[in-house]
């Protein structure tokens, strides 16, 4: 097969991906509300954890965003009540994650997705309702904007509480966004932040009354979807000089994987699961509290 034919076939596969009105990968739904305005809905009930399959799905989504010539706005939301996007799936085999080939940036698939999302020439918006912990905070930080339910948002990084290091870049991104002092508070206190505090810290753009959140994001996304794609992409390209170097997200990922091999993390996660972590209930609802209760 000649290179030209291969390229054409690849383009054709991508075209068909692009042409359909919706893509349902296993745990993410991509819905095209219009050619310019897409929604990606995270749907892994009951508590929206992220395992290897969801990482593969995010890879598929970002490829679709990058090759499309019409999309200007992508909103990320959740179909699971009480959870935007949660910590990783600790019932999955770690090897299923670590054996995935790196993405085009050379980074492993999760940080690869995050840095490509920040660089994609479209406006990305996190619509946050429910718990956004670990990966949920990390995708919020990778999105261009984020709007949170005032009553129903919990934002947090929780990793240090079980002897881990966060894997999706909050050490690189939070200090630029909310200042080094509040970044270290988030990363070392592990508090469950309310929408109101997240807004006060600048962690999210705005926290809105829950009843107004959907209409606000819909209006904003529809508005931006009218504008010229070239202008959006050029403006974002020039803003992106402020992004941390990709290598910092790689270093965070490496520290995260290293932490998982240590007894502190293995014991911490085990102790938390013994109390009810990883299924609906009080530990997931009040994770910050329980991180202070397990033996360390």
- Contact positions toward its own copies, by CB under 8 A? 123, 143-146, 159-161, 163-166, 171-172, 174-185, 187-189, 201-202, 204-205, 220, 223-224, 226-228, 230-232, 234-236, 238-239, 241-244, 248, 251-252, 255, 258-259, 262, 264-265, 268, 292, 296
CB of 56 to its own copies, least distance (A): 26
Closest approach of its own copies to the CB of residue 243, in Å: 7
Nearer to its own copies, 23 or 107 (CB): 107
Contact yes or no for 140/155 (Cβ under 8 A) = yes
Q: Which is nearer to its own copies, 27 or 105 (CB)?
A: 105
Closer residue to its own copies (CB): 97 or 123: 123
Nearer to its own copies among residue 23 and residue 143 (C-beta): 143
CB of 47 to its own copies, least distance (A): 23
For its own copies, give the closer residue by CB, 13 or 262: 262
Which residues have CB under 8 Å from 78's CB, separation 6+? 41, 42, 43, 48, 84, 85, 129, 130
* Shortest separation between residue 135's beta carbon and its own copies, angstroms: 16
């Amino acid at each position: 097969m000649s290179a030209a034919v291969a390229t054409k076939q690849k383009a054709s596969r991508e075209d068909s991906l692009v042409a359909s009105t919706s893509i349902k990968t296993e745990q993410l739904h991509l819905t095209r509300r219009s050619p310019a305005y897409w929604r990606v809905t995270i749907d892994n009930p009951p508590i929206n954890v992220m395992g290897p399959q969801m990482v593969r799905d995010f890879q598929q989504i970002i490829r679709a965003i990058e090759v499309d010539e019409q999309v200007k706005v992508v909103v990320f939301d959740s179909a699971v009540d009480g959870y935007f996007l949660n910590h990783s799936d600790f019932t999955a085999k770690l090897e299923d994650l670590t054996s995935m080939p790196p993405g085009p940036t050379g980074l492993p698939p999760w940080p690869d997705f995050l840095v490509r999302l920040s660089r994609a020439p479209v406006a990305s918006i996190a619509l946050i309702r429910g718990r956004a912990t670990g990966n949920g905070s990390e995708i919020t930080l990778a999105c261009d904007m984020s709007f949170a339910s005032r009553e129903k948002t919990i934002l947090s990084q929780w990793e240090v509480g079980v002897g881990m290091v966060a894997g999706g870049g909050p050490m690189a991104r939070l200090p630029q966004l909310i200042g080094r002092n509040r970044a270290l508070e988030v990363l070392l206190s592990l508090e469950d932040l309310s929408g109101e505090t997240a807004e006060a810290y600048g962690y999210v753009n705005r926290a809105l009354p829950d009843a107004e959140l959907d209409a606000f994001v819909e209006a904003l996304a529809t508005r931006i979807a009218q504008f010229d794609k070239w202008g959006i992409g050029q403006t974002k390209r020039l803003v992106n000089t402020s992004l941390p170097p990709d290598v910092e997200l790689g270093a965070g990922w490496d520290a995260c994987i290293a932490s998982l091999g240590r007894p502190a993390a293995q014991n911490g996660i085990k102790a938390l699961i013994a109390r009810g972590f990883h299924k609906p209930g009080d530990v997931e609802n009040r994770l910050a509290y329980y991180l202070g209760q397990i033996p360390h």
